[in-house]
Each structure stands twice: as C-alpha cells, then as structure tokens.
Amino acid sequence: MSGVFTYKADERIDTRTVEKFSDELKEILQKGNYEIEIDMSDTVYISSVGLRVLLATQKDIDKNGGSMVIRKAGPAVKKVFEVTGFVRLFRIED
C-alpha cells in the first residue's frame, strides 16, 4: 500500500472501547498500511490500555519500516502523553 492511512480515534479510549481501537489498528496493519496518522481531534480521554495499544502499534510499524504520527491531540490527551513519558516514544503533531 502507498500513502498515509488516517485513522480517526474515538472520543474515549478506555477499557470499554480499547478492543475496538486495537482491532481496527491491527486490521490497518494487516492490510499493509505502515504509514499511519492517528487523528485524535475528538479524543478527550485515553487510559493506560489505550497507551499500550499505541505502543504495540508503534512497535509493529517500526519493525516494518513505517511511521506513525498522532495528530490534533487535545490538552488532556497531550497531558497524559507528557506525564507518562510517551511524548518521547511517539511523534505528536498539531
């Protein structure tokens, strides 16, 4: 596949929604999309389970020579990335 695949994240990524989030990202990777942009403009909350899914996705992408960027994360989500140190693990852009 060529080009960047944009995935629109839900409002909340937590224990109730993480399975859908994980399954959808895995499906994107299985289709050979290793250039992924995750649009978090609607996301107001992400829990540790969501962070684990992002980390696993990033690892798969790295193994396949791709890239992942998180875009449009709001203040609350950015704060979670900062507090957990995940700002050093992910490319986060406005």
Residue 3 has a pLDDT of 83
Number of domains in the chain: 1
Report the alpha-carbon distance of residue 25 to residue 36 in Å, rounded: 9
User: What's the CATH code of the domain at 78?
Assistant: 3.30.750.24
State the pTM of this model.
0.92
Q: pLDDT tens digits for 2-42? A: 589 999 999 999 999 999 999 999 999 999 999 999 999 99
To the nearest 10°, report the CA torsion of 80, 86, 59, 1: 70
pLDDT at 90 over 50: yes
Residue 7 has a pLDDT of 97
Residue 2 has a pLDDT of 58
Domain that includes residue 80, residue range: 5-93
Residue 1 has a pLDDT of 47
